Each structure stands twice: as structure tokens, then as C-alpha cells.
Amino acid sequence: MRAARYHGNRDVRVEEVERRSIGADEVRLDVEACGICGSDLKEYVDGPRAIPTEPHPLTGETLPVTMGHEIGGTVVDVGSAVEGVEPGMNVAVSPVMWCGECRLCESGNYHLCADKGWVGFSGDGGGFAEEVIVSQEKAIPLPEGVPAEMGALAEPFTVGLHAIHRSAFEAGDTAAVFGCGPIGLTIVQNLRAAGAQRIYASEPQQMRREIAGECGADVPIDPFDEDPVDRILDETDGVDVAFEVAGTEPTLNQAVSSTRPTGDITVVSIFEGAAAIHPGQLVTGERTIRGTASRLSGPRSFEEFDAVVSQFANGGLDPESLVTSRIELDDIDDGFEQLLGDDVSEIKILVKP
């Protein structure tokens, strides 16, 4: 079969690879779509980082590996021990791998496993391919009426939902989101679905601000045109919760400054380096700042994935709103370069193997 394999920095090749046999507890999927994620772009430009250059402790594999972790597909085969997942089902993939033996796994925090890996980074297949094999618990059935393609959007939407679960958000709260890339937009949608009273969204790119408004942001703000903190504090005594999703020192400080005393700040971005904040804002206002690591995994992954795909089905969330292009596997390099370049019209590109 054909697969896009990562060989090194800016070196992704579409190659013929052998189909492997399926294990007793595994599921084989025809990949309908796989989204290009920001973490794929970082690996493409700056890697190898997540992709192992030494054998990964869970897969034993090293580069080259097949990339792609935002996967939607249709089940074509199941192992002898699989129950509840059948050929013909449309599914999304929960991509985190875990050992099941470390202290974090034993406490149910599989997504924080000491040896964690990811489908599409750590070996054993990925979604930029005609098919992928995953263990049964990673195959999340989609409700009737949700097409396999939209399964590729389930993973980023669960990242947004998990960020809200990690925060102190409660229905009726006011919220601010700093950065409206794909994950920021999923947070906006999840906040709206969860009953936020008012949502501020700060984003310099006009198209993304407009989509943020369509996704449920009450007040999209251009931070180059006005200070988002001033706007928020002019209209409120500070929001209840803020989410930093841009990965810059200024947006981190804005997220802190935009909250009321006792407010809550959740950092979602992967920062490239250190960022300074004034601890006095946390102390004198008794604010809380916390991080969020992706999404739940292991048996608990069904909680967030099921919540997301159920809302895909009932219209509470709109995954199609994030999709700006669909491309073929042979065009994957072009897709990476589009998202890395100056073209601000792209948000989520789906690869269609």
C-alpha cells in the first residue's frame, strides 16, 4: 500500500510499504481522511523530535515512520478477540499509545504515560496511508450519520474538550480564547456547546476571526487593532476562564491579565521556549494557571471521544467548519508547505489517501 513516510527534516516520501498482518485485538481501517496537525508541521520543519531516532520503547521502531494521527476511516477487518467493532463501521482513532504498567497508567492517566507514544509518530503505522491498524480501544465508533471523513476531526475536538475539562469552566461562565488556529476554534465550539455565557476570541488573522465568530465567539478581537485585555476589562471585571492557544509570551500574559481575581488560565499551546509572567498576578488575585496535555487515552478516551462524536451527530459541534482543503496523498508536501507559508486561508487540510 502507499504511505507518506517521514525520513527526516522536510523529507516526507510517498512510498510503497508492506501491509502487515492483524493481531487478535486489532482493527484494520481503510483511511478515509487524515488531518494535518500543527504537531505534524513542527515535526516536518524541526524534527525529528517526537519521531524516534532510537527504537521506541512501545513499538521498537525508528524512522522512517508513517505519519498522521487525526484519522477517520472504515473498519475492513478485525482480530479474533475484538468485540463491539465490526467491518463496515466508521470510526475515529484515539492516537495515544501507553505502556499500561507505569504509575501514571496505573492511576488512569494513560495520556501521561512515562513511555507514551502516538500513532503517526512512534511507529506501527499512521493515517497518511491507504490503511492503518490500531488496537481495538483506539477505534472509536462514530454515530450513525457521521461520515468516516469527519472522524479525522474528532481528535482535535477532543483536545479542545479536554482543555475545558482541565479548566475550572462551568456553564454560564465568561471565557477568553487567545489564538484561533484549529485547536483554538475547537475550544470556542466546545465552550459554546457547554453553555458559556460570553466568549472573547483574540486572533490576528481575519479569516480565523471570522470563523471564530461563526463557531460561537461573541466578541472576535484583532489584537493588532485593539488590546484584547483592555476590551475584556472594559466590558467585564475579567473573564472566569482563559485559554492560551497561540504559544507566545504576549498571549500568555494576556490570558492571565484578562481573568478576574480567582480566575483560571489553561495553557494549551506547546511553547518552543521559556515565557515570562508576573507571579504577582497569580498571588494577589489568587488566580490559577494550569496545563493540558492533549486528550484522555486508554479506556477513559471513550469519555471525551464519545462526547465529541455525539455532538457531531446532533449538530452541537460542526467539524466541517474547520476544513478548508482536501488533498490527495501525493500532494502531502504541498499541504505541509501551504500551512507553513503565508497563505492564511488554510485552517485544516484533510489528506484523502
pLDDT of res. 294 = 75
pLDDT over 80 (residue 250): yes
- Per residue in 31-86, pLDDT tens? 999 999 999 999 999 999 999 999 999 999 999 999 999 999 999 999 999 999 99
Beta bridge partners of 291: 267
Question: pLDDT over 90 for what percent of the chain?
Answer: 91
pLDDT of res. 110 = 85
Q: What pTM, to 2 d.p., does this model score? A: 0.95
- Per residue in 223-241, pLDDT tens? 999 999 999 999 999 999 9
Report residue 201 as a C-alpha cell. Answer: 476570541
pLDDT over 70 (residue 286): yes
Report residue 38 as a C-alpha cell. Answer: 500543527
pLDDT of res. 302 = 74
- Per residue in 142-176, pLDDT tens? 999 999 999 999 999 999 999 999 999 999 999 99
pLDDT of res. 299 = 63
Residue pair 290/264 in contact by the 8 Å Cβ criterion: yes
pLDDT of res. 119 = 95
- Per residue in 93-125, pLDDT tens? 999 999 999 999 998 888 889 999 999 999 989
Backbone φ/ψ region at 235: left (φ over 0), alpha (ψ -120 to 50), beta: alpha
pLDDT band at 298 (very low <50, low <70, confident <90, very high): low
pLDDT band at 297 (very low <50, low <70, confident <90, very high): low
Sign of CA dihedral 180, 181, 187, 189: positive
DSSP per-residue codes, 238-262: -EEEEEE-S--HHHHHHHHHTEEEE
